[in-house]
C-alpha cells in the first residue's frame, strides 16, 4: 500500500486521509487496511517492542476516500466514541450524483435495515423490525449536463451514521452516487470494477479527547468522479 497521508498526530489521536479502494479496517478479504497500516507504521517508526493500541472511531466504506480519525489510546477511543454517540463529531461529505434531487437543499430522513448476508442496506417503513432512523442534510452546489447525463454536485452533513447511509438514501431518490455498483442502477450492470465512487469525506470536526480543543480538518475531494466536474469547469 502506498503511503497514507497524516493530517494530524499526537499522543492521543491520528487524523489521516483514507485512500479510495482501501478498507478502514480488516474485512473478509483479508487485504491491507488503514488500521493495520498505521499499527505497523507506528510500530516501525517508533521502534516499539509491542504492537501499539489503535482504534477506528468511524469507518468509511471501502470505495469512499477522505478524512478519518483514529484513537491511539483506550481513553481517547472512549471519549471520541461518546462524542460520536452524542452527535458531537461533525462529518461533511461531497458527492457526485447521477440525477437531481427534488430541492436545492433539504433533509432526508428514512428508516434503514441492514442485510448482513449481502452487506447492503435498504429503506423500509417505520416500525420495521431492526430498522434504524437515518438522517442527513444536503445542499446542491451545482448541476451539470454531461455526456453521461445530468450530474449533481452535493454537500452532505451526515447526522446519523448508518450502514451505507448516504449511498442508500440518495439511490432511493433516484440520484445514486456516481460509480456505485452496489446501489446505483446506472452502474449495476457495468463490467467495470470501480475502486472508488463519487463520495468523499471532506470535513471533520471534533473536540480533542484530552485537551478539549475544537478541531476542524478539511480535505478537497479527489478521484475519477470529481475529475468529471473539473472538466466541466466548476
pLDDT greater than 80 at residue 52: yes
Asked, for residue 1, whether it belongs to a domain, the answer is no
Tens digit of pLDDT for each residue in 181-213?
Answer: 999 998 887 766 667 899 999 999 999 999 999
Give dist(CA 93, CA 79) in Å, integer.
23
Give dist(CA 67, CA 179) in Å, integer.
20
Asked, for residue 130, whether it belongs to a domain, the answer is yes
How does the average pLDDT of the chain come out, rounded?
A: 92
Tens digit of pLDDT for each residue in 106-123?
Answer: 999 999 999 988 889 999
Structural domains counted in the chain = 1
Domain span including residue 109: 6-231
Q: The domain spanning residue 106 has which CATH number?
A: 3.30.2350.10
pLDDT at 128: 94
Q: What share of the chain is helix, strand, coil (3-state, %, to 5)?
A: 20, 35, 45
pLDDT greater than 80 at residue 234: no
Give dist(CA 135, CA 203) in Å, integer.
18
Contact 79, 129 (CB under 8 A): no
Residues sharing a CB contact under 8 Å with residue 6, sequence separation 6 or more, in sequence order: 14, 15, 16
Give dist(CA 94, CA 138) in Å, integer.
9
Give dist(CA 154, CA 100) in Å, integer.
10
Tens digit of pLDDT for each residue in 4-32?
Answer: 999 999 999 999 999 999 999 987 777 78
Asked, for residue 27, whether it belongs to a domain, the answer is yes
Tens digit of pLDDT for each residue in 84-108?
Answer: 999 999 999 999 999 999 899 999 9
Range of weakest confidence among 143-152, 193-202, 224-233: 224-233
Contact 4, 17 (CB under 8 A): yes
Amino acid at each position: 500500500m502506498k503511503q497514507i497521508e497524516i493530517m494530524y498526530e499526537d499522543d492521543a489521536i491520528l487524523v489521516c486521509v483514507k485512500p479510495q479502494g482501501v478498507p478502514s479496517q480488516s474485512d473478509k478479504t483479508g487485504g491491507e487496511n488503514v488500521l493495520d497500516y498505521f499499527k505497523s507504521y507506528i510500530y516501525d517508526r517508533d521502534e516499539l517492542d509491542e504492537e501499539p493500541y489503535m482504534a477506528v472511531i468511524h469507518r468509511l466504506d471501502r470505495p469512499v476516500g477522505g478524512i478519518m480519525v483514529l484513537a491511539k489510546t483506550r481513553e481517547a477511543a472512549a471519549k471520541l466514541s461518546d462524542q460520536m454517540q452524542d452527535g458531537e463529531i461533525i462529518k461533511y461529505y461531497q458527492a457526485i450524483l447521477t440525477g437531481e434531487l427534488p430541492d436545492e437543499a433539504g433533509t432526508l430522513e428514512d428508516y434503514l435495515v441492514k442485510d448482513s448476508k449481502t452487506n447492503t442496506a435498504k429503506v423500509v417503513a417505520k416500525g420495521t423490525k431492526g430498522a434504524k432512523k437515518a438522517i442527513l442534510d444536503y445542499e446542491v452546489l451545482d448541476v451539470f449536463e454531461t455526456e453521461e447525463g445530468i450530474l449533481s454536485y452535493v454537500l452532505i452533513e451526515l447526522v446519523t451514521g448508518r450502514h451505507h447511509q448516504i449511498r442508500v438514501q440518495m439511490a432511493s431518490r433516484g440520484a445514486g452516487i456516481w460509480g456505485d455498483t452496489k446501489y446505483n442502477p446506472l452502474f449495476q450492470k457495468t463490467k467495470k470494477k470501480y475502486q472508488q465512487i463519487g463520495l468523499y469525506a471532506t470535513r471533520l470536526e471534533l473536540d480533542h479527547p484530552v485537551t478539549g480543543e475544537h478541531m476542524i480538518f478539511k480535505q478537497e475531494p479527489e478521484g475519477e468522479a470529481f475529475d468529471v466536474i473539473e472538466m466541466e469547469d466548476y
